[in-house]
Amino acid sequence: MSSSFATELPLAPLGAGDLIDRAVRLYRRHLFVLIRTAAPPVIVVAAGWILFSISIQRIFVTSDTADLFWHIFLLALSVVLTLAGYLFILVVMGGATRTLVAYLLRNEPVTARATYVAVRARFWGLVVASLIVLIWVFASFSVAFVGWEMVAGILMFIGIGLAAVGPAWLGITISVIGVLLATTLALWIFFFVVGRIVYVPQVMLVEGKGVFEAFGRSFTLASGNVRRLMAMTLFTTFATLSALMILFVIIGLIGRFSGINPMNSAEWPAWYAIAYSILGPLSSILLTPVWMLGLSLLYLDERVRHEGYDIELMASKQLSELPDINVSSPLGTALHSMERKAPPPPPRSSGSILNLN
């Protein structure tokens, strides 16, 4: 492996802090390439949010029936666009992982073109897999939220009861601790369930697995990844929210200087509503690459931990890759070929039982 890569991103089992550090360093090195890679799906999300922002305001102020139905249609279209954008982000994640492995293995340049060429080769399979992942995430969130409500409700009820018969501070303390415990438990349940399927796009494009085979493979790799996945998600979320708050302050000041009340969205002009609605997607364009890199590194780290993938990559780098045959790691290829191979020709028969002349 190249000396720069060996010193900056060693392939060894990584903790949560190491994963975030490696992702940020790779992001800084390939900043504009990664922004171009993440921009198309985030732009689709931005279009959905812009339509949502405009239509939801007009629904409550319009008095014309035809205009009302038109904006309801735009509202439904905005939901479809937003979900399609998030689906596209999951699809692109698999291509980003393949590009990272190719960079790691062959020192190939990290380009947006390489990512989208890989995505195009398995596009429909990735769409089906990503749709299943989105449904899985929604179901996981529902289960975690129900668990949070139950635990928080019980502990808050106990806290209120204690406050009624004892000191008020004790009841308040019990209630606050109950909410924190319920939130921690809900997050752990959510990431435990979601963590089973986070590697599906990566498995499909790096290992060449089919859709349902990739889900089984992701379940196999995803043992013990809850804390690292949670830490990486919370880091990316807080970084995105920080960038979003800065943008909100800027757009709020622009509105004040323009005579617009930022607190009254019903009176916003169209240009201000559009500018306000793209703040979230804009911050996502800047920080989605960190999330993509983090998941890619987490997938590679799981293979390092469970399969000695670092040895496999070093062997492939030094000795060239093994033939792309259907065998299990570490005897298989470090990076599955995207080219379709013709089946081998059947053996010719010479008339004798042992095919001997």
Residue 139 placed within a domain: yes
Q: State the CB neighbour count (10 A cutoff) for residue 320.
A: 7
Residues near 69 by Cβ (< 8 Å), separated by ≥ 6?
A: none
How much is the pTM?
A: 0.72
Between CA 357 and CA 352 the distance in angstroms is 7
The whole domain housing 310 covers 14-316
Flag whether 271 is in a domain: yes
Give the integer Cα–Cα distance in Å for 43 and 41: 5
In a domain, 20, yes or no: yes
Q: Is residue 356 part of a domain?
A: no
- Contact (CB, 8 A) for 61 and 48: no
Is 354 domain-assigned? no
- Residue 61 is predicted with a pLDDT of 72
Number of domains in the chain: 1
pLDDT at 315: 62
Q: Could you tell me which residues come within 8 angstroms of residue 208 by beta carbon, excluding any fewer than 6 positions away?
A: 336, 337, 338
Would you tell me how many other CB atoms lie within 10 Å of the CB of residue 201? 31
Amino acid letter, 45: V
**Count of all residues that appear for the chain in the document:** 357
How far apart, in whole angstroms, are the C-alpha atoms of residue 296 and residue 59? 42
Rounded mean pLDDT for each run of 10 residues along the chain, 357 residues in total: 43 73 84 84 82 78 78 86 85 82 76 87 88 89 86 78 74 80 87 88 84 87 82 83 82 81 71 74 76 81 75 62 50 59 51 46
- Domain assignment present for 40: yes
Which two structure tokens, joined as six digits, stand for 320?
């060239």
CA distance 157 to 171: 9
Structure tokens, 190: 């959510």
The whole-number pLDDT of residue 317 equals 60
Please tell me the predicted confidence (pLDDT) of residue 165. 74
Kindly state the tokens that stand for 254: 């622009």
**CA–CA separation, 8 vs 22, rounded Å?**
8
- The confidence score (pLDDT) of residue 286 equals 74
| pLDDT number for residue 7 | 37
Angle at 310 between CA 309 and CA 313, to 5 degrees: 85
Which residues lie closer than 8 Å to 210 by C-beta, 6 or more apart?
A: 125, 204
- Residue at 3 is within a domain: no
Question: Which token pair is 198?
Answer: 């986070």
With tokens 């279209």, the residue in question is 77
Query: Which residue blocks in 195-264 are alpha helix, DSSP H?
Result: 200-202, 211-221, 226-257
**Residue 352 in domain:** no
Among 10, 214, 205, residue whose Cα is nearest residue 97: 205
Integer CA distances (angstroms), 299 to 48, 123, 194, 204, 219, in order: 30, 20, 14, 12, 12
